[in-house]
């Protein structure tokens, strides 16, 4: 299940999304439902990365169950279906994207400049919908880590919404990537004191069946908190009790690879805590990288794709 080997029998296999390909709103793989009553536009997005289909299983399950808004508008989006269509169980990590990482193209400049790729074309097709979202949940999964996380970006309102959603139990407040803007980092969701909010859920390891259950539970809690879907309709996927308050990890540093030879000194699983400041944890082109403070949390360390210019790990500390 490390992700480099072919998919095995007990792994999470990709869903059949053919029933949702046509969409209901003029855009492929987009389903938008209007309640006819006032309320927010709530968006559940899946498949930003083509190999992260636990969120697609969650969205397809909610669609198939007939989850509809009782107020406002509810949209389900399968974003990078071109990459997902290339999924090969013999090489399961290969379908993250076609031309470029779709979750690095969401700055206003990237959405309007002339640069072209499969992902940018799809992003420009989807932005008219995302650009009207009041509450957006972007469902992802991770290469190695099994502890699910809610990324709330840097906005206070993102952190507050993540606390109300309560799942999956750990909130990471982070500034994003040097390599480009995530959807949740678009100014629509980050600028000003008040306004639309977007969260990114990392639901566990890509091919761990638990990640689909986590994606469903997080999406159900998100819809419950949004107020557009009635609690009774979400009951099959909601936890039986109110979740306990999540832990907050504030990212203190995002480590971007600067050389062709980056390696961690040991295999980190994600959410490992290094107790002592100054501990060397990686070498970037032979230069030792040290933890900047005590009790340093290793958030989503990459192992294979730590290429130059990409994020190798975020360092953080547990907050109040
Ligand atoms: Zn992802």
d(CA 293, CA 315): 9
Question: Cα of 266 to ligand 1 centre, how many Å?
Answer: 23
Low-confidence stretches of the chain (pLDDT beneath 70): 1-4, 304-305, 320
Please give the DSSP secondary-structure letter assigned to residue 192: S
Question: Cα of 140 to ligand 1 centre, how many Å?
Answer: 4
Determine the topology of domain 250-318 in CATH: OB fold (Dihydrolipoamide Acetyltransferase, E2P) (2.40.50)
What is the predicted pLDDT for the residue at 304? 55
Name the CA radius of gyration of the chain, rounded. 19
Question: Cα of 36 to ligand 1 centre, how many Å?
Answer: 33
What is the predicted pLDDT for the residue at 177? 77
Q: Are the C-beta atoms of 175 and 128 separated by less than 8 Å?
A: no
Question: Cα of 48 to ligand 1 centre, how many Å?
Answer: 6
Question: Cα of 278 to ligand 1 centre, how many Å?
Answer: 30
- At 1, list the tokens: 């299940």
- At 117, list the tokens: 């790729």
Same CATH topology for 18-245 and 250-318: the answer is no
d(CA 219, CA 167): 9
Question: Cα of 49 to ligand 1 centre, how many Å?
Answer: 5
- Where b means 16+ CB within 10 Å and e means fewer, 179-209 reads bbbbbbbbebbbeeeeebbbbbbbbbbbbbe
Nearest to 215 by CA among 205, 203, 224: 203
Q: Is 174 left (phi over 0), alpha (psi -120 to 50) or beta?
A: beta
d(CA 223, CA 217): 10
d(CA 40, CA 79): 21
Residue range 92-131, pLDDT digits in tens: 888 999 999 999 999 999 999 889 999 999 999 999 999 9
Question: Cα of 201 to ligand 1 centre, how many Å?
Answer: 9
Question: Cα of 34 to ligand 1 centre, how many Å?
Answer: 28
Question: Cα of 283 to ligand 1 centre, how many Å?
Answer: 25
- CATH value of 18-245 in 3.40.190.10, 3.40.630.10, 3.40.50.10800, 3.40.50.720: 3.40.630.10
Nearest to 212 by CA among 67, 61, 96: 61
Q: Where are the domains of the chain?
A: 18-245, 250-318
Residues with CB in 5 Å of ion ligand 1: 49, 52, 140
Question: Cα of 142 to ligand 1 centre, how many Å?
Answer: 7
- HEC secondary structure over 225-281: HHCCCCHHHHHHHCCCCCCCCCEEEEEEEEEECCCCCEEECCCCCCCEEECCCCCEE
pTM value > 0.85: yes
What is the predicted pLDDT for the residue at 310? 87
Question: Cα of 227 to ligand 1 centre, how many Å?
Answer: 26
d(CA 145, CA 2): 10
What is the predicted pLDDT for the residue at 123? 98
């Amino acid at each position: 299940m490390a992700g480099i080997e072919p998919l095995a029998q007990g792994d999470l296999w990709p869903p059949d999304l053919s029933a949702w390909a046509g969409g209901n709103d003029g855009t492929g793989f987009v389903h938008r439902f209007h309640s006819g009553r006032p309320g927010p536009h709530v968006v559940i997005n899946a498949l930003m990365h083509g190999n992260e289909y636990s969120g697609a299983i969650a969205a397809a399950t909610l669609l198939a169950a007939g989850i509809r808004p009782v107020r406002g508008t509810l949209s389900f989006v399968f974003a990078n279906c071109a990459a997902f269509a290339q999924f090969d169980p013999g090489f399961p990590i290969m379908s993250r994207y076609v031309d470029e990482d779709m979750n690095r193209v969401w700055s206003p400049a990237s959405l309007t400049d002339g640069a072209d790729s499969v992902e940018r074309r799809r992003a420009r097709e989807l932005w008219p919908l995302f650009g009207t979202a009041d509450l957006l949940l972007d469902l992802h999964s991770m290469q190695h880590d099994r502890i699910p996380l809610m990324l709330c970006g840097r906005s206070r309102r993102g952190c507050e919404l993540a606390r109300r959603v309560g799942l999956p139990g750990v909130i990471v407040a982070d500034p994003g990537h040097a390599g480009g803007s995530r959807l949740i980092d678009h100014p629509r969701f980050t600028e000003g004191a008040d306004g639309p909010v977007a969260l990114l859920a990392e639901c566990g390891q890509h091919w761990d069946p638990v990640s689909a259950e986590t994606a469903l539970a997080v999406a159900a809690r998100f819809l419950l908190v949004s107020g557009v879907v009635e609690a009774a309709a979400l009951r099959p996927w909601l936890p039986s009790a109110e979740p306990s308050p999540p832990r907050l990890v504030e990212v203190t540093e995002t480590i971007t690879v600067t050389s062709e030879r980056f390696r961690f000194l040991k295999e980190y699983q994600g959410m490992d805590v290094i107790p002592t400041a100054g501990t060397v944890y990686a070498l970037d082109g032979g230069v030792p990288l040290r933890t900047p403070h005590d009790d340093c949390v290793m958030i989503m360390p990459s192992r294979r794709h730590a290429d130059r210019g990409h994020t190798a790990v975020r360092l953080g500390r547990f907050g109040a």
